[in-house]
Structure 1
Amino acid sequence: MNIDFAALLGKSPNPYMVMDPELRLVWVNDAYLGATMREREDIIGKTLFDAFPSDPATESYRLLDDSLQRVLRTGQVDELALIRYDITAPDGGMQTHYWSATHTPLLDDAGAVKLILQHTVDVTELQELRQHRKQADLIRRAEKVQSRNVTLVRESRRLTEFFDQAPGFVAVLGGPGHVFEMANTAYLDLVGRRDILGKAVEESLPEVVEQGFIEVLDHVYRSGEPYIGRREKVMLNTADNDAGEIRYLNFIFQPCLNPENEISGIIIQGYDITEEVAFEERQDLLINELQHRVKNTIAVVHALAKQTFRSVPAASSAVEQFSARLSALAAAHGLLTEGSWRPTSLRSLLRATLGASLGDLTGRIGMDGPDHLLDPETALGLTMTVHELATNAVKYGSLSVEDGTVAIDWSVESAGDDDIVHLTWQESGGPPVAEPEHKGFGTRLIERGSHSGGEAEVTMEFRPGGLKCSLAIHVPKDPQSAEHGRPFAKFKKSG
């Protein structure tokens, strides 16, 4: 059966065109004419690039020419999946078109390319649809970016508000010249100036230059080592006082790094503790005044006791004991005063009390236990108890002979909101011990403890080898918050 392929392709709805090896158009079907908006007589006999002119320097020309040259050179089919090739419209203007083309060679008997069949599809609408989709995606991405930008702006504003409302003063210095880049309200209030941003520290705060702070900033910037100032005395000029005002500050100069891990500036952060320092100075003054008055009072009481009992027969021993107790109380009071009536060290308290009570005999006292803080009232109560134990040891116990010793051991037990200090006074090497038939004031004082201290349990064992006194003292985990007026002792006796 003979088939007229020219007639068949001519009726095809798909655009077809045939070229000779010189790329002259020798045949086209109606669909091709419709796709290219041309008349047959206008393009038959012309080369492809004469029929559809294009600048040889453009990518469109190069892609199409390279495809055709490959077909001529290899005799193989070549495809252009997508090529933009603009063509002239009937009105003379240029229209943008996208094409998909297949170039199929027709060979002669010698295998040379005799003709090239081009199957061309106009995919402009499809490409535009793709472009619209890309644009839509771009818009969606832009909307997401915009949303993120809005969030970042909001977060940046919140961080700026937090920075400005920080309770401590904060400033950011940039570069080796230490230029103010940021400063919160607290910092501006501290330095008493509002126009420092964009200026160097040396220009904005000239009074700190002579105080050495520029040198400190230079060292931090060069070395990368932070500088911490504690209770630093700083003189600052203010709008109300050009002569300068003394402030006490706790602060840190902290180097900050850029993404390349290089020092780019310094963050200043700290607190103004001027009022705190002033309060402590007033407190120290009052405590020193109190200490002075207490010493005077104890001296007066001591003198009154001597004068009162001077004419009482056999009263010298009692006066001596009374004076010793006053001395122990004065020693404990002095130790607490040195600490501004804050919690005091158990070990330091024992040393001070025993030193006042025993003098050179303290070398025969052994102490072993972890240091612990006692609130002031518990410390006073323990002072009186230890003094009485030491006095009795000198008079009747192990310290009344040359070889006698005393061992003081203690440990700390956690018990809910309190700690329990278990302290043991153990005498050895002294004369045999028996429970006294009549209790003196000192023994009763030990048994009762002091009513100014914390809750405790006291156990006294009158062993033949030496007195053993055990105390279980309840102290707050935070001695500074100790309640006042709690009974010091609950007495237990074991014979």
Structure 2
Amino acid sequence: MNIDFLELAEASPNPYVLMDRDLRLVWMNRAYCAVTMRAREDIIDRKMFDAFPADPDSESYRQLRESLDHVLETGEPDEIALIRYDIARPDGGMDTRYWSATHTPLHSPTGETSYILQHTVDVTEMHKLRDEVNVLRRADAVQERNRSLERESQRLLEFFQQAPGFVAVLGGPTHVFQMANAAYLRLVGRDDIVGKTVAEALPEVAAQGFIETLDEVYRTGKAYIGRREPVLLDGDHEPAHARRVLNFIFQPISDGDGTNTGIIVQGADVTEEVEYEERQELLIQELNHRVKNTLAVVQSIAQQTFRAVPDSAPAMATFKARLHALAAAHGLLTESSWSPASVREIVELTVGATFGPLDDRVPLDGPDFLLNPEVALALTMIVHELTTNAIKYGALSDDAGRVHIDWSVNAREDCDVLSLTWRERGGPPVAAPSSEGFGTRLIRTGITSKRGTAVDLRFEPEGVVCALEVMLECGAHHEPSAEGPISSPSMPG
């Protein structure tokens, strides 16, 4: 069977064109003419880049030229997976086209490439479809990002609404409420403030001068911090219609170029905390008043009792001194509202009340550690007894003696330990007493009954030495703060 292969190629639905070594178009089939919108007689015997011109500096020209040169130089086929090559329409306009091309060499008997057969496929629609798919994918990605942003915005809005402190956002120089969380609405006792200026929504706040403060923050860009400021609110429901005490900040909001655009109002209602402290202060003052009255009554009873006892004046003086020391310790704690007191303050106050100015006779050496009020009271009584004995019999009974008091706080396995040493030197020789009086027994009792607390009272010839060890804060160690750590030991009884 004889087959006319040229006729077969002519009838092929696939576009083919044949060019010689000079890239002259020597044959093309009907499909090629159709896809390129050219008549055979218009392009036959013309060079490829004359029949289908392209800018020599363009990527289209470079891709096609390099592929054809490769076939001519190597004698091997070459493919262009995708090339944009625009062609002219019959009406003179240009069509944007995308192609896929295969260049196959046809060799002469000597093996030289004589012709190049180009099989070209118009993939413009496929390329558009791919672009559309990519667009859809990008659109899906953008939509997913938008949904993610929406979810994130919703979470931020929920956090904003559920924040325990009150928060509001004011916009512009007139301070229009743009947002306000539930805590802020409860505070002011209104639900309809968004969209209104502060002056319109809260006229009572404007009357108290806060608009001027907001104006200053907006103008200068400097935040304003209010600490325990009283504010009168006239809202329709609790906790408004009352005097509130607030901690708050007016924080300016600025855009990229530093221009102020609004203010964030954020804070907390500390009314109950302040009222509690005021009640506590009142109770402490009442307690102090009653303690002083009780001590006065005790002193009066003691005076009446000792009056009938012969030679009781020295004992009465000692008793009064102990009462005065106790009263001084109560006064120190009352001044600090029965908050922890420092070791240094306790020692200075107690020794000074009995001996006078410490000067260089009683040097102190130790950190500003804070003690629980109960421990502070007990330490006051012990230091008072030691000071009294030193004045009567020890290093402070003449002009030469000195008392050195040092203390430290050390962390042990389970507890912090306060170690305080009272050391007398330079006074008259010391001998142990033949019997213990109340003062000595009070000292030896120590500060607490906690296991591990110890008192070592020694009557050395050079002077009395008293070493106290007090177990503090068992079960937890605390790093010293700027004000010192706080101990909370229990007391006997």
Q: Scaled by the length of structure 1, what TM-score is found?
A: 0.76
Alpha carbons of 1:44 and 1:242: their partners in 2 closer, same or farther (altered >3 Å)?
closer
What letter is aligned with 2:468? L
Deviates more, 1:377-386 or 1:190-199: 190-199
Match of 2:111 in 1: none
Instruction: Provide the C-alpha distance between the structure 2 equivalents of 1:28 and 1:455, rounded to a whole number of angstroms.
Output: 110
SS of structure 2 residue aligned to 1:308: helix
Q: 1:484 pairs with 470, 477, 490, which one?
A: 490
Match of 1:98 in 2: 97
Is 1:352 the equivalent of 2:369?
no
Instruction: Provide the C-alpha distance between the structure 2 equivalents of 1:450 and 1:100, rounded to a whole number of angstroms.
Output: 98
Instruction: Provide the C-alpha distance between the structure 2 equivalents of 1:17 and 1:444, rounded to a whole number of angstroms.
Output: 125
What letter is aligned with 1:461? R
Match of 2:165 in 1: 168
Alignment of 1:3-402 (within 5 A): 14=15, 30-32=30-32, 34-35=34-35, 81-83=84-86, 85=88, 98=97, 123-124=121-122, 126-239=123-236, 245-360=242-357, 364-402=361-399
Unaligned runs of 5+ residues in structure 2 are: 1-5, 20-25, 57-64, 69-82, 102-116, 479-484
Instruction: Provide the C-alpha distance between the structure 2 equivalents of 1:134 and 1:387, rounded to a whole number of angstroms.
Output: 94
Instruction: Provide the C-alpha distance between the structure 2 equivalents of 1:167 and 1:473, rounded to a whole number of angstroms.
Output: 42
Alpha-carbon shift at residue 450 of structure 1 (Å)? 4.4
Q: Does the 8 Å contact 1:454/1:474 carry over to 2?
A: yes
Q: 2:467 pairs with 446, 470, 473, which one?
A: 470
Instruction: Provide the C-alpha distance between the structure 1 equivalents of 2:32 and 2:284, rounded to a whole number of angstroms.
Output: 110
1:285-337 per-residue CA deviation (whole Å, 9 max, x = no partner) reads: 11101100110000000000010110111111111111111111111111112
Alpha carbons of 1:305 and 1:452: their partners in 2 closer, same or farther (altered >3 Å)?
farther
Match of 1:112 in 2: none
What letter is aligned with 1:98? R
Instruction: Provide the C-alpha distance between the structure 1 equivalents of 2:252 and 2:413, rounded to a whole number of angstroms.
Output: 44
RMSD: 4.1
SS of structure 1 residue aligned to 2:124: helix
Instruction: Provide the C-alpha distance between the structure 2 equivalents of 1:359 and 1:444, rounded to a whole number of angstroms.
Output: 25
Q: Does the 8 Å contact 2:253/2:264 carry over to 1?
A: yes
Alpha carbons of 1:159 and 1:31: their partners in 2 closer, same or farther (altered >3 Å)?
closer
Q: Does the 8 Å contact 2:36/2:87 carry over to 1?
A: no
Match of 2:416 in 1: 419
The percent identity for this pair of structures is 51
Instruction: Provide the C-alpha distance between the structure 2 equivalents of 1:472 and 1:387, rounded to a whole number of angstroms.
Output: 18
What is the number of residues matched between the two proteins? Answer: 434
SS of structure 2 residue aligned to 1:437: coil
Instruction: Provide the C-alpha distance between the structure 1 equivalents of 2:451 and 2:206, rounded to a whole number of angstroms.
Output: 53
Instruction: Provide the C-alpha distance between the structure 1 equivalents of 2:191 and 2:240, rounded to a whole number of angstroms.
Output: 19
SS of structure 2 residue aligned to 1:365: coil
Match of 2:80 in 1: none
1:461-481 per-residue CA deviation (whole Å, 9 max, x = no partner) reads: 222221111112222256767
Unaligned runs of 5+ residues in structure 1 are: 1-5, 19-25, 49-62, 69-76, 89-93, 103-118, 488-495
1:45-68 per-residue CA deviation (whole Å, 9 max, x = no partner) reads: 9xx9xxxxxxxxxxxxxx967779
Instruction: Provide the C-alpha distance between the structure 1 equivalents of 2:451 and 2:349, rounded to a whole number of angstroms.
Output: 20
Alpha carbons of 1:402 and 1:184: their partners in 2 closer, same or farther (altered >3 Å)?
same
Alpha carbons of 1:101 and 1:189: their partners in 2 closer, same or farther (altered >3 Å)?
closer
What letter is aligned with 2:316? V
Instruction: Provide the C-alpha distance between the structure 2 equivalents of 1:130 and 1:405, rounded to a whole number of angstroms.
Output: 101
Alpha carbons of 1:483 and 1:447: their partners in 2 closer, same or farther (altered >3 Å)?
closer
Alpha-carbon shift at residue 393 of structure 1 (Å)? 0.5
Q: Scaled by the length of structure 2, what TM-score is found?
A: 0.76
Q: 1:429 pairs with 402, 421, 426, which one?
A: 426
Q: Does the 8 Å contact 2:355/2:387 carry over to 1?
A: yes
Alpha-carbon shift at residue 398 of structure 1 (Å)? 1.0
Q: Does the 8 Å contact 2:344/2:368 carry over to 1?
A: yes
Instruction: Provide the C-alpha distance between the structure 2 equivalents of 1:99 and 1:347, rounded to a whole number of angstroms.
Output: 91
